[in-house]
Amino acid sequence: MSTERDSETTFEEDSQPNDEVVPYSDDETEDELDDQGPEVEPAQNRVNREVEERRETFRKDCTWQVKANDRSFHEQPHFMNTKFFCIKESKYAGNAIKTYKYNAFTFLPMNLFEQFKRAANFYFLVLLILQAIPQITTLAWYTTLVPLLLVLGITAIKDLVDDVARHKMDNEVNNRTCEVIKDGRFKTAKWKEIQVGDVIRLKKNDFIPADILLLSSSEPNSLCYVETAELDGETNLKFKMALEATHEYLQRENSLATFDGFIECEEPNNRLDKFTGTLFWRNTSFPLDADKILLRGCVIRNTDICHGLVIFAGADTKIMKNSGKTRFKRTKIDYLMNYMVYTIFVVLSLLSAGLAIGHAYWEAQVGNHSWYLYNGEDTSPSYRGFLNFWGYIIVLNTMVPISLYVSVEVIRLGQSYFINWDLQMYYFEKDTPAKARTTTLNEQLGQIHYIFSDKTGTLTQNIMTFKKCCINGQIYGDHRDAAQHNHSKIEQVDFSWNPYADGKLAFYDHYLIEQIQLGKEPEVRQFFFLLAVCHTVMVDRIDGQLNYQAASPDEGALVSAAREFGFVFLSRTQNTITISEMGTERTYTVLAILDFNSDRKRMSIIVRTPEGSIKLYCKGADTVIYERLHRMNPTKQETQDALDVFASETLRTLCLCYKDIEEKEFEEWNKKFVAASVASSNREEALDKVYEEIERGLILLGATAIEDKLQDGVPETISKLAKADIKIWVLTGDKKETAENIGFACELLTEDTTICYGEDINALLNTRVENQRERGGVYAKFVPPVHEPFFPSGGNRALIITGSWLNEILLEKKTKTSKILKLKFPRTEEERRMRTQSKRRLEAKKEQRQKNFVDLACECSAVICCRVTPKQKAMVVDLVKRYKKAITLAIGDGANDVNMIKKSLSSSLIYTKNIPTLSSSTGVSCMICPHWCWNKWTRRHASSHVK
C-alpha cells in the first residue's frame, strides 16, 4: 500500500514553520541531512537491524587504536592496507604532509596533460602531427613546434614556480622540530619523523605538529591555552584540560616514557569540534572528547610546557582532512575563450572542407598540370581532396590564436599585482595590504551581481558589550537614577566600590546597582552569580589583574559584566570554581558540566554549594529554554516581552534559569551520566538524552542583552553597492527581529521598503504553481515558460525569510512517512516503478519551486535569511548561481561560512590570518582585519561598477 503521499511532505497538514527555531543542527553532515529515516518494519526485522547497526556502529566508531610509546604496535599486519598491487602500507599516516602537485618525475607528464586539456593546445599538437606527414604538410613542422613549445614552456614555468613555492612551504613545515620520547628520554625530532603513538613535549608559542591527546601541562589542573586562528579564524584563546588521572601521574619524564595507555577512538575525519574515544589505562577507562584534544595548526599560548600523545598524524589530522581537493575555478572569460576556439575550429573545418571539395572537383574536371604541385596522378580525386583537407587545416592554422591563453594569463598576473598595490585596499592601522591569493578570478570582481554576506563579525564588529538585562520580569539598563527616574542624560555608573572592577563597562542604570548592593531581591544577585559560574571561561593573573580568556565573545562579555557588578570569577580547577560574591570568596564543587553545542543551544553546570545543596544553572537561547521551563513561572511573559524589546534594538539575547536538585535525584542521574560518558558508540546521543532528563522544570531568572556594533562605513558601502546595481543577501543565524533591525541599521532596509516574509512569499509561490499547472495542463513540460513578475513594477521590496520557512518553501523538509505497516523487503517491480515515478515527480516539483523562489527573491532589492545553518547558506548561493547564471561574491569570517564561500565562484574569506586549509578553495581571498575588510573590499567592488 505505497502511495505518493507516503514519501511527500504534507505541507497542508504540518504546522507552520517556527521562525525562532534553527531547522536542523549545524553539526549535521550532508549525508545525515539527506537521510529520510527508515520505513516502518516488522518487529523482528527491526530488532535484527538494530542489533546489526549497533555492531556496525561500534566497529565504525572505535576502529582507530593507538598504543602509547609503541611504534611496532601500529605496524602489525591487520593495520596494513594494500595501496598498489602487492605493496602494502600502514593505515596510520606519517606526519609529513604534501600539498604540492608535482615532483621531479611527474611534473612533465602531468603538466603536459593538464595543458593539452585546453582546446587550442591540443589543436596545435594535432597540427604538429599532421605536419610530420609528407603527403599532407604544406609548412615545415618547426613553424608550429617553436610557438607551441614557447606557449607550453611559459605556462609550465609559471606552474613550476607555484609548485616550488608549495615544496618550500611543505619542507619548512615538515622540518620543524619538537621533543619526542625516544629510548626513554625526550629528544629533538623533526615533524616528519613523528608517528602515531609518540609522546611529545611542546612549549609556549609552539605550533602543534599533529592531533594529540593532552596528557599534562605546567598549568594548574593541566590546563592548556591554544589559539585556533588557523582552524576557525578566531584569535581569542581557547582552553583544553587534561584528564585528572593523566594530570596527576604524567608530569615527569620517566613516567611519560613508561606510559602505556591504549586508546580506542573514531576514525580520522574532518569534524573539528567533535571527538569520541576512550583511554584504557591502569585497568580503568576514561572518556575522551574534543576538550582534551589539541589539533594540528593550533598554537600553544600562555602555557609553558604541555605533553601529548599523537593520535592522528599528517594526512589523517583534522586540518588536512578539511583541506579537501583543490577545485579549479573557471571564469566567464575562460568559457568565452573556449567557446571562441571551438567556433573557430568549426569555421576552419568547414572552410577547409569547402576548399578540399573544390580542389577535388577542379582536378577531376580540369586536371592538374602544374609542375610545382604534388601531381598525385596515381590516386583518385576524392583521396587527393581528403589529403588537401588536412593541408588546408595546416595552411589556415593562424586562424586559431595560439597565444590567446598566454596573453590572458599575463594580464591576470598583472591585475593580481595591481590588487596587491591598491592603496585604497591598504589597512594602515595594521600595516596590512590586500592579498590576491589566485590569478584566475581577477576579472570576475568587476562582474559581480550578488553579494552574500555573513552578519556577525562581517557586517558587525564581533566585539560584544553588555547593555541591558531583564531580571524577574523587570528591564534594567536604561538611563535612570537610583529612584527609577529616567533621564536622557545621566552619569555613568561608578564601579569604584568593587575592587575587582576594571571600569571598562559603560552602564547608566543606577537603580540596578542599588538593587545589587541592598540585596532586597535575591533574584538580582542570583542572576549575576549565574553569569559568574555558568561558563567555560579561563582566567589568568597578569600583574595582579584578572584577565579572562573566553571561547566566544558573548561569553566573555557576560562574565566580565558579572565581574563589574560584584560577582567575580576568580579561578577554577578540575572540580571546583571560586567566585567572589560582593567581596566574599566562596568555592563551589563542580559536579557536572553540560556542554554547549549548536544543536542544544544551551549550557548548564551542576554545582554543590558550600552548604551542601545541589543546584543546576543554565543559560541558552530562548527557544530551547522556554521548552524546558517549569509550568509555574510567573515572569515568563514579561521576560518574553523584554526579549522582543531587546531584539528590536538589535541586541543579542540569552535566557538564564536555574533548578534545585535533590541528592537522591542527582545520584540516580549521575550514574546515567557516567555510563553515557564512557559509551563506546553514539556517545553524543547518549549524553544529550541524559542532559534532557535533568534540564527539565527550570525556573526562569531573566535574560541578558549584549550589543554587537556595526562596522564603520557599512551603510555608506551598501548605498554605493545599490547604485552599482549589486544586490546584497545577508545570511545569518540570528533571530528574525535582530536580523531585521540590523537591516535597518545598515540601511539595507529603509522606511520606504516593503518587507515580505516567509508566509507572504509562500502564498505567492503557491499561486504561481497553480497558474503554471492550469496553463500547461497535461502538457505542462512542453509549454514554453512565461516570464511574468511576482510583484508590480515600481517600489522598493525586501525579503526576510527564516531557515524554517526556507525549508518549507524549497521543499527541503524531512519527509514524513505514513504509519501504515510496510515491509521493507521484498519489494515488487511495480512498487519500485511507482516509487521511482514518485521521486521523479517530487524532484521536478522541487526544482520548479526553487526556480520560482529565486525569481521572486531576485525581484527584491535585498534579501535577509535568518536562523539559517551553514548548509542552508551554501544552498542559497547555489540556487542563485544555478538559476541566474550570475557571478557571486561570498564574504564571511568563520568556519560556518566556508560552505557558502566554496559554493560561490568569486569568493572572499575575511580572516585575521592566513588559513592554509581553506585557501585552496576560496578563490580571491584577502588577509585583512575583519573590522575593516567588509567596508574597503565591497566598496572597491562598487566603485568599479559605478565607473
Q: Is 111 known as a binding-site position?
A: no
The response to whether 184 counts as a known ligand-binding position is: no
Q: Is 652 known as a binding-site position? A: yes
What's the CA gap between 574 and 729, in Å, rounded?
45
d(CA 341, CA 123): 10
CB 23 within 8 A of CB 803: yes
Compute the residue count for the chain.
947
* Residue 358 counted as an annotated binding residue: no
CA dihedral 508, 512, 517, 523 (to 10 degrees): -150
Q: Which residue shows C-alpha cell 611527474?
A: 106
Please tell me whether 31 is known to bind a ligand.
no
Contacts of 842 (CB under 8 A, 6+ apart): 7, 8, 811
Q: Which three cell numbers stand for residue 474?
A: 523587570
Q: Is 873 annotated as a binding residue?
A: yes
733 marked ligand binding residue = yes
Burial (CB count <10 Å: 0-12, 13-18, 19+), residue 228: buried
Distance, CA of 681 to CA of 782 (rounded, Å): 52
438 marked among binding-site residues: no
Q: List the one residue out of 785, 819, 605, 811 whose CA is nearest residue 691.
A: 605
CA–CA distance, 929 with 17 (Å, rounded to integer): 38
Nearest 5°: phi and psi at 526? -65, -30
Strand boundaries in 721-859, DSSP class E:
727-731, 753-756, 796-802
CA atoms within a 13 Å half-sphere pointing along the CA-CB vector of 464: 22
- Eight-class DSSP state of 75: G
On whether 867 is known to bind a ligand per the annotation, the reply is yes
773 is in an annotated binding site: no
Residue 619 assigned to a binding site = yes
Are the beta carbons of 845 and 811 closer than 8 angstroms?
Answer: yes
Q: What are phi and psi of 843, to 5 degrees?
A: -65, -40
User: Which is it for strands 614-620 and 602-608: parallel, antiparallel or unpaired?
Assistant: antiparallel
Cell numbers given for 326 = 583543490
Pairing between β-strand 727-731 and β-strand 862-866 as defined by DSSP bridges = parallel
**Beta carbons of 653 and 737 less than 8 angstroms apart:** no
Annotation says 6 is catalytic: no
Give the Å distances, CA to CA, from 890 to 16, 105, 237, 739, 874: 31, 38, 27, 18, 10
The label of the residue with cell 593507538 reads 66
**Cα–Cα distance for residue pair 129/141, rounded to 1 Å:** 8
Q: Are 695 and 602 in contact (CB under 8 A)?
A: yes
Element (H, E) at 417: helix 404-421
- 464's CB contacts (< 8 A; 6+ apart) are 553, 554, 556, 557, 652, 706, 707, 708
**Cell numbers standing for residue 579:** 567566585
Query: First-to-last CA distance in the chain?
Result: 64
Active-site hit among 19, 198, 211, 454: 454
Q: Which has the closest alpha carbon to 41: 819, 839, 829?
A: 819
Is 456 known as a binding-site position? Answer: yes
Residues with a catalytic annotation lie at 454
* Binding site members: 454-456, 555, 596, 619, 652, 732-734, 867, 873, 893, 896-897
Provide the annotated binding site for ATP.
454-456, 555, 596, 619, 652, 732-734, 867, 873, 896-897
Residues contributing to the annotated binding site for Mg(2+): 454, 456, 893, 897
